[in-house]
Structure 1
């Protein structure tokens, strides 16, 4: 019995250490409070989906759709649940070489994310080079 308890304690400790080693993984809120994004890892890349919207429905009470998407075939999908962060690679506290999709405009931008401690994440979307872009800071949701 003692052996089993010790094994479980070691497992939980290992899981806690692993979770701390990747502080970007989790739920984040954008500065306006309109959306919340869950960042997760698939293989060695990082992704994020829009899992919560302050106003998930349109004026008629129907779930908002991705109507601004330039691909006609994608305009009927729901905004809530969209994967808006794709293919980020980790290099220390910087996550780069990814893309961010803005469902409000239907545009996709190059993007890099930089952790500021464990509770703030700078998101920089840009066209071409990072100099021509905009940064906003997301806050981690506990």
Structure 2
């Protein structure tokens, strides 16, 4: 019995620190949810694909602004992997990329948990932008 409680606490803390799962992306201007991204682990790296869009204008868009050399060019955004090759480094996940399918641009990125929220920072040279994603229920 003495051993069960510490093991349960370790399991709960381990789950709380995971980025794996579904996250809502939030529009920075409106505060409304834009999409749901499912983050998963594959081969020791982390990836994220769009599983739902909240857009009313086009329910099934394609990435027509992606670079023509990118294999995601003109592919459906729902089901598209937008987070690629992230590696865990302590409490951060980095050395991967994120695609902004609205602009078709790919950025170096890092992710980390801040409380219950997921922070994702995309880098373009010395500049960066940070978004907050919230856990999807």
Q: TM-score range, shorter-chain basis? A: 0.7 to 0.9
Q: TM-score, normalised by structure 2?
A: 0.79
Partner of 1:24: 19
CA RMSD, Structure 1 to Structure 2 (Å): 2.5
How many residues are treated as equivalent by the alignment?
124
Moved more, 67-76 or 105-114: 67-76
Q: Cα deviation per residue 1:2-45 (whole Å; 9 max; x = unaligned)?
A: xxxxxxxxxxx99x938717521000011221111000000110
Regions of 4+ moved over 3 Å? 72-75
Kindly indicate which of the two structures has a greater share of residues assigned to strand. 2
**Structure with max Cα Rg:** 1
Match of 2:119 among 117, 122, 130: 122
Q: TM-score, normalization: structure 1?
A: 0.76
| Higher fraction of helix | 1
Contact between 1:56 and 1:64, CA under 8 Å: does it hold in 2? no
Counterpart of 1:68 (choices 65, 68, 76) is 65
Q: Which residue of 1 aligns with 2:87?
A: 89
**Structure 2 spans left out of the alignment, 5+ residues:** 1-6, 28-32
- The residue number in structure 2 matching 1:7 is none
Q: Matches of 1:22 and 1:83 in 2, distance apart? A: 22
Q: CA separation in 1, counterparts of 2:25 and 2:38?
A: 11
User: What is the match of residue 49 of structure 1?
Assistant: 49
